[in-house]
Amino acid sequence: MSNYLVAMEAAWLVRDVEDIDDAIGVAVSEAGKRLNDKNKEYVEVEVGVTGCPACGEPFDSAFIAANTALVGLLLEIDVFNADGEKHASRIAKSEVGGALRDVPLSVIDVVETDEDADERDDE
């Protein structure tokens, strides 16, 4: 059994907004509130990044049309004692998806972490 850091992308819709920064603030705040209400404070929430199709430089994942924004959020969660990457992904999607009903989620990265080695280094 291993520990994993699972990164997921969520598509968050924000209505009645005119500015990208406002849309990002509202999306992060609303997602954090819904997670906190379900006692999932341990899930990290930040705005995602998208590469520019022309130059490749990263920019915030947010788009506004008709005063409605689609914001891509990056959600990270530590999963402990999973049988493998697929199992860790399922656990993460279940934990986060339960709190963020009707929000599309996609696992974008799973990294095995070695908590035991970190603890040994501290001794």
Residue 120: enclosing H or E segment and its boundaries?
helix 115-122
pLDDT of residue 118: 47
Residue 94 is assigned to a structural domain of this protein: yes
Confidence of residue 116 (pLDDT cuts 50, 70, 90): low
Q: What is the pLDDT of residues 4-50, one digit of tens each?
A: 999 999 999 999 999 999 999 999 999 999 999 999 999 999 999 98
Give the total number of structural domains in the chain: 1
Q: What is the pLDDT of residues 43-90, one digit of tens each?
A: 999 999 988 888 888 888 999 999 999 999 999 999 999 999 999 999
CATH number assigned to the domain comprising residue 36: 3.30.70
Tokens of 122: 């501290």
DSSP state of 123: -
pLDDT of residue 12: 96
Residue 121 is assigned to a structural domain of this protein: no
Distance between CA atoms of residues 19 and 41, nearest Å: 27
Domain containing 57 equals 2-113
**DSSP secondary structure letters along 41-92:** TTSEEEE-EEE-TTT--EEESEEEETTEEEEEEEEEEEEEEESSHHHHHHHH
